[in-house]
Amino acid sequence: MKHLASSLLLALSLSLAALPTSAEQGTGLSQNPDVQAFIAGMHEQHGFDIAHLTRQFAVLRPNATVLKAIRPPAVPEKQRSWERYRERFVNEQRLAGGLSFWQKHAATLQRAEAIHGVPAEVIVAIIGVETIYGQHMGSFGVLEALASLAFFYPPRSEFFRGELEQFLLLARENGISPLSVKGSYAGAIGIPQFMPSSQRRFAVDFDGDDRIDLRQSYPDAIGSVGRFLQQHGWQTGEPVAVPATVNGNPAALLALGIKPSLSVSEFAAQGVAAVADGDRAAALIDLVTPGAATEYWLGFNNFYVITRYNRSSFYAMAVFQLAEELRLAQAARAAAAPVARGGAR
């Protein structure tokens, strides 16, 4: 009981530390000592004008909606449901939208696949899961969202300060006001929802206009998703995941994580059966739905690569399953096209 009480007190203190004070809520972030130190660092490391940055932070406030959205659910075991998650992303809206998107951008997708080795359906599925093909790119001011997380969310403040730094560099490189950019509550930007560091490292000019624009250029978004996956180790022509059956308690195998570490044969020796090359490295994936049997899969290297985009097995599986449905529907459409044309004649 003492340990539980200590844990609760620690969690409460961290939560309270993350909340902005009344002074910070009523004044701009430029008055915050941590923000002032950050501005000084941007000047020393990257030559930013202190007065200019101070004016930009002066119009920002800690965003309570952002800080609420980033926090884990109070009872995570009751929130985690593969069935509910899958319904959000693998559905008729995203399938129909994906087929339309594929048809409209077929040549660009074919070029991205040829250059980066990533199947068109995987690129389409990621864009579909992220923003419904550019329809929902986020309405939060990216500068305010990143600043709120960088200075008022202690569990990941270091990460978000890095992203805030990268965002300011990105805005300067592209000649845009950082106050003008909208994105997700976590600071992800554009059609493919790249974090600023990912945009600076992996985004490409795929439409040949000598600039990278992930907010308006679908070719840039398509090429950038392909390059991101390629640079994270996508293996062309290799499988993503296969269903598995588990005998016994898989806790120790699940504890190995989502990075492939055992061969399919080694999993088989420990009660995990799947139809796959016995020498292929895999990880055991559990897709949990409260009140239903847990679904098990073996995820291979390409599954792990998808989790570099979003570090969630639910996310990677949703992308994979949407991609498979898109691939099958696109193949059926292509097979029916000659018949339709023949009938028209």
Kindly list the averaged pLDDT for each block of 10 residues, start to end, along the chain of length 345.
38 42 61 98 98 97 96 70 97 98 98 98 98 97 98 97 98 96 98 98 97 97 98 98 97 98 98 97 97 96 98 97 98 80 49
221: its two tokens: 């978004």
Task: Measure the CA dihedral 250/253/259/262, to 10°.
Answer: -120
Q: Contact at 8 Å (CB) between 203 and 212?
A: yes
Position 72 scores a pLDDT of 83
Q: Give the dihedral sign, CA 100/106/111/117.
A: positive
- Phi first, then psi, for residue 292 (nearest 5°) are -135, 165
Position 17 scores a pLDDT of 42
Position 161 scores a pLDDT of 98
Q: What angle do CA 77, 82, 86 make, to 5 degrees?
A: 145
Annotation marks residue 83 as catalytic: no
Instruction: Reduce the DSSP state of residue 281 to 3 states and report it.
Output: strand
Catalytic residue among 121, 130, 144, 165: 130
Q: Measured between alpha carbons, how far is 228 from 235 in angstroms, rounded to an integer?
A: 13
Q: Cβ of 243: how many Cβ atoms within 10 Å?
A: 13
Q: Enumerate helices (H) and strands (E) in the chain, giving the number of each.
A: 18, 7
